[in-house]
């Protein structure tokens, strides 16, 4: 494996643009294509994990036995490949998927990440995995808190603010210990050194996944950190309802998750609308706090949405309220068999 710093800066076109850019030396390797093929058994179908918008992901094993995820980028997405490598070489956080290295050889563009053995949050919300087991409410809260911490870091904790622009449950990955980490930075935007004022960018072409786009971004191409907050709110409703953002198999008034959620909140029927597995398992105090922050996140006006730091703290409070209520109920019902009204 070659020292990546000089070649990486040249390939990404950053030597002239950012002459003092600091990469995390020792934390990003440049692999040869032969090494990548050896790790994935020449991209064997049995190594296949899944397909993303910008590439195909395989499970691989490096020469030292390290298990990794290998994303073979589609040739038409060189810009997204460069963007992801450029950003992740500068970002390290417990709730962001770690970049291990990359390969650029001929027409091949490959990114190597840490392997997230439990797949994505979407796998468990929508029953995609063969070993699907519904997640408990506390489990879901822990995962949401981890994702919120990662997004909070992107907005305020890095040297340059980052708008993720691809937040969705399928990009929230889970490791063996159920730690949630954000992934897929191909569309992310690097902002100014400070986020003391909202970063506003105008995008001539709106990109992303339908159902996961903030209204001001769709209508005006206006992109801020509050665009990420809106989409995070969409995910919070997915976690509570246990369903996709759009489901054409449902009745007309339930096809769009947010519309259905707002209707059920207005009519006081939310207890009938949420994930059936969660019914009777969420303490009222916790649910109210959770709905409060989820609803704030999806406010139509970006400046009315909370910052991710507030989202993180409120979710932690919701988890604490659930824990207190569970302890009280367990003292009344030692068998552990109880349901909330």
pLDDT per residue, tens digit, the chain (341 aa), is 444 445 555 555 544 443 433 444 445 789 999 999 999 999 999 999 998 878 999 999 999 999 999 999 988 888 899 999 989 988 999 999 999 999 999 999 999 999 999 999 999 999 877 677 899 999 999 999 999 999 999 999 888 889 999 999 999 999 999 999 999 999 998 876 644 455 556 665 777 777 888 888 888 888 899 999 999 999 999 999 999 999 999 999 999 999 999 999 999 999 889 999 999 999 999 999 999 999 999 999 999 999 999 999 999 999 999 999 999 999 999 887 899 98
Question: What is the structure's pLDDT at 206?
Answer: 76
**29-30/99-105 β-pairing:** parallel
pLDDT at position 12 is: 56
Cα torsion 29, 33, 35, 40: sign: positive
* Sheet bearing 67-73, strands edge to edge: 29-30, 99-105, 108-114, 67-73, 55-61, 48-51
148: tokens are 């919120």
Instruction: Tell if the pTM clears 0.95, that is, is over it.
Output: no
What local confidence, expressed as pLDDT, does residue 169 receive? 96
Positions at the binding site for ATP: 71
The CB density around residue 332, as the number of other CB atoms within 10 Å, is 7
Give ranges for CATH 3.30.200.20 in the chain.
5-114
What top-level class would CATH report for the domain 5-114? alpha beta
In the CATH hierarchy, which top-level class contains the domain 121-332?
mainly alpha
- Residue 144 in contact with residue 315, Cβ under 8 Å? yes
Q: Give CATH 1.10.510.10 domain extents, the chain.
A: 121-332
The per-residue pLDDT for 218 is: 86
Q: pLDDT at position 236, please?
A: 98
**The pLDDT value given to residue 191:** 72
Report the pLDDT value the prediction gives residue 192, as an integer from 0 to 100.
Answer: 66
Q: Within 10 A of 1 (CB to CB), how many other CB atoms are there?
A: 12
CA distance 155 to 1: 33
The Cα–Cα gap between 305 and 230 comes to 7
Helix segments in the chain, DSSP class H:
5-12, 33-40, 78-88, 121-125, 137-152, 215-220, 225-241, 257-266, 270-273, 284-297, 308-332
- Secondary structure in 3-state letters for 23-84: CCCCCCEECCHHHHHHHHCCCCHHHEEEECCCEEEEEEECCCCCEEEEEEECHHHHHHHHHH
Tell me how far apart the alpha carbons of residues 50 and 59 are, in angstroms, rounded to a whole number.
10
How many whole angstroms separate alpha carbon 217 and alpha carbon 221? 4
Angstrom distance (rounded) from CA 282 to CA 5: 50
Listed in sequence order, the residues at least 6 apart from 49 whose beta carbon sits closer than 8 Å to its beta carbon are: 57, 58, 59, 69
Instruction: Using the Cα atoms of residue 87, residue 146, residue 293 and residue 259 in order, give the sign of their dihedral.
Output: positive
Strand partners, 3: none
What is the distance, to the nearest Å, from the Cα of residue 133 to the centroid of all Cα atoms in its chain?
20
Contacts of 120 (CB under 8 A, 6+ apart): 169, 170, 171, 172, 173, 174
């Amino acid at each position: 494996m070659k020292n990546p710093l000089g070649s990486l800066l040249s390939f990404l076109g950053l030597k002239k643009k950012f002459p003092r850019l600091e990469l995390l030396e020792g934390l990003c390797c440049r692999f040869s294509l032969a090494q990548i093929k050896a790790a994935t058994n020449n991209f064997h179908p049995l190594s296949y994990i899944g397909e993303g918008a910008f590439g195909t992901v395989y499970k691989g094993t490096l020469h030292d036995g390290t298990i990794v995820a290998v994303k073979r980028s589609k040739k038409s997405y060189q810009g997204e490949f460069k963007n992801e490598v450029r950003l992740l070489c500068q970002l390290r956080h417990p709730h962001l998927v770690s970049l291990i290295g990359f390969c650029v050889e001929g027409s091949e563009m490959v990114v190597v990440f840490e392997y997230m053995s439990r797949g994505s949050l979407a796998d468990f919300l929508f029953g995609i995995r063969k070993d699907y087991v519904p997640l408990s409410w506390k489990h879901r809260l822990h995962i949401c808190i981890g994702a919120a911490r990662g997004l909070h870091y992107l907005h305020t904790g890095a040297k340059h603010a980052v708008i993720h622009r691809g937040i969705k449950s399928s990009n929230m990955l889970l490791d063996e210990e159920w730690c949630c980490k954000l992934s897929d930075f191909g569309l992310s935007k690097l902002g100014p050194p400070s986020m003391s004022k909202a970063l506003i960018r105008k995008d001539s072409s709106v990109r992303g996944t339908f159902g996961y786009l903030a209204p001001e971004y769709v209508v005006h191409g206006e992109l801020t950190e509050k665009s990420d907050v809106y989409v995070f709110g969409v995910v919070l409703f997915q976690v509570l309802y246990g369903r996709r953002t759009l489901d054409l198999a449902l009745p007309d008034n339930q096809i769009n998750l947010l519309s259905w959620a707002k209707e059920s909140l207005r009519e006081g029927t939310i207890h009938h609308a949420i994930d059936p597995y969660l019914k009777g398992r969420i303490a009222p105090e916790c649910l109210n706090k959770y709905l409060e922050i989820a609803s704030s996140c999806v406010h139509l006006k970006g400046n009315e949405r909370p910052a991710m730091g507030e989202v993180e703290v409120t979710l932690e409070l919701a988890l604490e309220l659930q824990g207190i209520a569970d302890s009280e109920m367990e003292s009344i019902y030692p068998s552990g068999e109880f349901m909330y009204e």
